[in-house]
């Protein structure tokens, strides 16, 4: 469905050039659910803008559904539904008018337009507000309207740039429920960028992007396994000495030890040493207050590759462990 | 009892992938849609429409009355009778209200960019030419509505204008509206901040207005002023409108018409070219 080769974007300005996307390549299969993970400024939105021909790539190419984005932009756009990261509704129009105009711009006949608009407003739970001006909507309602609008022309590829930003957990779940159902029932390909662990975890494949480059890609399981079999969390009186000890004895841990809270260190089990977590813990010559072992999650993978953390619905709870 | 509704995405969204209508048809529909959006927004913003009445009225009543005793002596003749300054000023102020509203089309495009709606339009399968034309037609419509409201006040200024002349004036306003909207859009397509646009606009609108001959006759101007007014598209619009409404003009009708069309074409084409080059 999507095939990007050596895609590169350099923003040029008087104050100098900025490489936003630095020669990335990836493919997304028909019906696949693909996620882009990356910290702020990684180049995710820029990549998406090149996919919909809002920006011309500096070099490289993107093929969507067999069509070159640069040479057949309109054919490509007809196949794409996009939810932008930033708001993009006309808030002086009603919800209905926003859908109506979108449908017309995509050349949908009025019968289909009406049928789909009614259906999608209903599904998104904003049916009763259809004739209200969008400026009177809450942030979550606007987001749901944007999703309805993105689906209206029945795209083959749905691009979601941080779609659930600003939604409460309940709306977030219901939005995802619908996106997954559309995927199942209609076989839509989904391309997502997100900062949320749970959203990325449910995707078929993930690419981790950092400073314009893809630093890792694969299924979430594969990425976790590649990182390590176990994650260790150790709380001690003196984390600095523990840190020094770990690095001097297990050189592969250099740069991979994270500090959590006051005295807790989090690190992957060094691979290739045929070492169990208990062996490692027992070898530590310092008093340990508390230790735990768990499987790695995408957050660990993300931090390992980018040096910064993902958001999580449970972020607050985790922080106060 | 709560009914669990069953949704079927497949029934509503499934089916064959969308087939493109012919590019021309799609663009025409796009132009119509964008035009309609501007008209709806204007109608929702009726307050602004009424508010923008004030300025032209101040010009007509205060400036017009204040200058009347002196300007009356400037000897503008109309079918053997002297034309009062208010009568002279009236077509100029009608053109002014068209100008001011038309320039708004430029800032409207900047606003669309700022609030993000422009992205939605730009990712639609629509040529940028259609986007520019939709905006120009929308802005021109708004400006003609505004101008017409002022025009209909003519009895207040003791003018007698026949219905045919009014219709002709309406057509002339469409011409002025299209030309000036193209200027506004040309200035707006590249701008990313509406504040910046407003500043730029002050450097453009007021000179256009002052040089247009809306306030004073264009004959016997010092050389540089005369040259400047010749490159002001509005001067031809004002001239045409004044010829129609009060029977006074300084250029030939052919000059007026051809200049307006040339300006309109050049501005429109430049807007499209510039917009096509903008990310
Ligand atoms: N219009 C622009 N002009 C110049 N630089 C830009 C422009 N848009 C983005 N950039 C730069 O390109 C880089 C990538 O930005 P981009 O918006 O693609 O990141 P992102 O991964 O979407 O981040 P976020 O998670 O914050 O949305 C950043 O360094 C940003 O400053
Ligand atoms: Mg982004």
Summarised one tens digit per residue, pLDDT across range B220-278 is 778 888 888 888 889 999 989 988 888 888 888 898 899 999 998 998 899 889 888 87
Question: Is B44's Cβ below 8 Å from some Cβ in A?
Answer: yes
Mean pLDDT of A203-230: 86
Q: Which residue, among A201, A203, A192, A205, has the nearest Cα to A83 in the 3D structure?
A: A192
pLDDT at residue A313, as a whole number: 43
Mean pLDDT of B126-135: 92
Flag whether B5 is in a domain.
Answer: no
Flag whether B171 is in a domain.
Answer: yes
* Percentage above 70 pLDDT, chain A: 95
Mean pLDDT of A12-25: 89
pLDDT at residue B124 is higher than 50: yes
Residue length, chain A?
321
Question: Is B116's Cβ below 8 Å from some Cβ in A?
Answer: yes
pLDDT at residue B137 is higher than 70: yes
Q: How far is the CA of A49 from the centre of ligand 2 (A)?
A: 10
pLDDT at residue B1, as a whole number: 36
pLDDT at residue A316 is higher than 50: no
User: pLDDT tens-digit profile of A45-68?
Assistant: 999 999 999 999 999 999 999 999
pLDDT at residue A6 is higher than 90: yes
CA dihedral A193, A198, A200, A204 (to 10 degrees): -140
Q: Which residues 6+ apart lie within 8 Å of A229 measured at CB?
A: A269, A271, A295, A296
User: How would residue A262 be classed by pLDDT, with cut points 50, 70 and 90?
Assistant: confident
Flag whether B162 is in a domain.
Answer: yes
pLDDT at residue A44 is higher than 90: yes
The Cα–Cα gap between B267 and A4 comes to 38
pLDDT at residue B5, as a whole number: 55
Flag whether B7 is in a domain.
Answer: no
Closest chain B C-alpha to A93 CA, distance in angstroms: 7
* CATH 3.30.70 domain locations along chain A: 229-295
User: pLDDT tens-digit profile of B184-227?
Assistant: 888 888 888 888 888 888 888 888 888 888 888 877 778 888 88
**Closest Cβ opposite residue B125 in set A74, A84, A154:** A74
pLDDT at residue A125 is higher than 70: yes
User: Please, are residues B214 and B96 in contact by the beta-carbon 8 Å criterion?
Assistant: yes
pLDDT at residue A286 is higher than 70: yes
The Cα–Cα gap between B93 and B72 comes to 17
Strand-strand pairing, A2-11 and A18-28: antiparallel
Residue length, chain B?
279
Flag whether B261 is in a domain.
Answer: yes
User: pLDDT tens-digit profile of B46-67?
Assistant: 777 777 778 888 888 787 777 7
Q: In 3-state terms, what secondary structure has residue A71?
A: coil
What's the whole-number average pLDDT of chain B?
A: 83
Per the structure, the complete domain to which residue B138 belongs is given by 23-276
Topology of A2-219 in CATH?
Rossmann fold (3.40.50)
Quick check: pTM over 0.90?
Answer: no
* Percentage above 70 pLDDT, chain B: 90
Residue scoring higher pLDDT (A299 or A153): A153
Taking an 8 Å cut-off on Cβ atoms, the answer to whether A77 and B7 are in contact is no
Q: Whose CA is nearest to atom 8 of ligand 1?
A: A46
pLDDT at residue B75 is higher than 80: no
Q: Whose CA is nearest to atom 3 of ligand 1?
A: A11
Chain A and chain B share a number of CB contacts under 8 A equal to 115
Flag whether B104 is in a domain.
Answer: yes
pLDDT at residue B81, as a whole number: 58
**Hey, what long-range contacts does A132-137 have (CB within 8 A, 24 or more apart)?**
A132/A94, A132/A95, A133/A91, A133/A92, A133/A93, A133/A94, A133/B44, A134/A89, A134/A90, A134/A91, A134/A92, A134/A93, A134/A94, A134/A95, A134/A98, A135/A91, A135/A92, A137/A91, A137/A95
pLDDT at residue A34, as a whole number: 94
What's the whole-number average pLDDT of chain A?
A: 85
Flag whether B131 is in a domain.
Answer: yes
CATH code for A229-295? 3.30.70
The ipTM estimated for the assembled molecules is 0.84
* CATH 3.40.50.300 domain locations along chain A: 2-219
> A40-44, A89-93, A307-311, B5-9: which has the minimum mean pLDDT?
A307-311
Hey, which of A41, A44, A210, A213 would you mutate to test ligand 1's pocket, going by the most ligand atoms within 8 Å of its Cβ?
A: A41
Domains contained in chain B, number: 1
User: How would residue B79 be classed by pLDDT, with cut points 50, 70 and 90?
Assistant: low
pLDDT at residue B19, as a whole number: 58
Flag whether B12 is in a domain.
Answer: no
């Amino acid at each position: 469905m999507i095939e990007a080769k050596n895609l590169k974007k350099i923003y040029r300005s008087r104050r100098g050039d900025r490489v936003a996307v630095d020669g990335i390549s990836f493919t997304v299969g028909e019906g696949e659910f693909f996620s882009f993970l990356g910290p702020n400024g990684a180049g995710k939105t820029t990549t998406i803008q090149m996919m919909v021909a809002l920006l011309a790539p500096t070099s490289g190419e993107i093929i969507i559904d067999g069509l070159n984005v640069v040479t057949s932009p309109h054919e490509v756009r007809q196949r794409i539904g996009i939810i932008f990261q930033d708001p993009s509704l006309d808030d002086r129009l009603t919800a209905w008018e926003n859908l109506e105009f979108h449908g017309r711009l995509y050349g949908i006949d009025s019968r289909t337009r009406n049928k789909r608009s009614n259906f999608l407003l209903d599904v998104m739970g904003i049916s009763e507000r259809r004739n209200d001006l969008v400026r009177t909507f809450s942030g979550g309602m606007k987001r749901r309207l944007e999703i309805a609008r993105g689906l209206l022309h029945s795209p083959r590829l749905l691009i979601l740039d941080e779609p659930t930003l600003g939604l409460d957990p309940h709306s977030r779940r219901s939005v995802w429920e619908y996106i997954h159902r559309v995927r199942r029932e209609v076989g839509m390909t989904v391309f997502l960028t997100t900062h949320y662990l749970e959203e990325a975890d449910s995707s078929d494949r993930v690419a981790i992007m950092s400073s314009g480059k893809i630093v890792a890609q694969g299924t979430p399981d594969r990425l976790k396994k590649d990182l390590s079999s176990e994650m260790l969390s150790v709380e001690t009186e003196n984390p600095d000495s523990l840190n020094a000890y770990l690095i001097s004895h297990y050189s592969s841990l250099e740069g991979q030890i994270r500090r959590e809270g006051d005295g807790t260190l989090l690190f992957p089990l060094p691979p290739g040493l045929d070492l169990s977590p208990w062996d490692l813990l027992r070898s530590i010559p310092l008093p340990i207050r508390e230790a735990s072992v768990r499987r790695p999650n995408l957050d660990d993978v993300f931090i390992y590759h980018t040096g910064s953390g993902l958001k999580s619905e449970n972020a607050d709870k985790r922080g106060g462990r | 009892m709560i009914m669990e509704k069953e949704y079927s995405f497949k029934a509503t969204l499934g089916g064959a992938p969308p087939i493109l209508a012919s590019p021309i048809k799609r663009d025409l529909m796009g132009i119509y849609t964008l035009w309609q959006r501007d008209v709806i927004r204007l109608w929702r913003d009726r307050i602004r429409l009424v508010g923008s009445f004030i300025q032209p009225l101040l010009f007509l009543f205060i400036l017009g009355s204040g200058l009347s005793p002196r300007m009356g002596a400037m000897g503008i003749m109309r079918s053997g009778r002297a034309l009062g300054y208010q009568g002279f000023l009236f077509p100029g102020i009608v053109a002014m209200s068209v100008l001011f509203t038309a320039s708004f089309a430029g800032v409207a495009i900047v606003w669309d960019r700022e609030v993000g709606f422009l992205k939605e339009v730009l990712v639609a399968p629509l040529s940028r030419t259609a986007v520019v034309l939709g905006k120009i037609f929308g802005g021109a419509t708004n400006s003609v509505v505004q101008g017409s409201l002022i025009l209909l006040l003519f009895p207040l200024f003791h003018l007698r204008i026949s219905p045919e002349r009014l219709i002709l004036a309406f057509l002339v306003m469409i011409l002025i509206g299209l030309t000036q909207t193209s200027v506004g859009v040309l200035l707006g397509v590249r701008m990313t901040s509406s504040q910046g646009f407003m500043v730029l606009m002050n450097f453009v609108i007021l000179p256009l207005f002052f040089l247009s001959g809306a306030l004073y006759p264009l004959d016997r101007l010092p050389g540089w002023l005369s040259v400047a007014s010749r490159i002001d598209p509005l001067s031809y619009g004002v001239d045409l409108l004044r010829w129609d409404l009060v029977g006074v003009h300084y250029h030939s009708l052919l000059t007026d018409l051809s200049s307006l069309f040339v300006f309109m074409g050049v501005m429109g084409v430049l807007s499209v070219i510039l917009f096509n080059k903008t990310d």
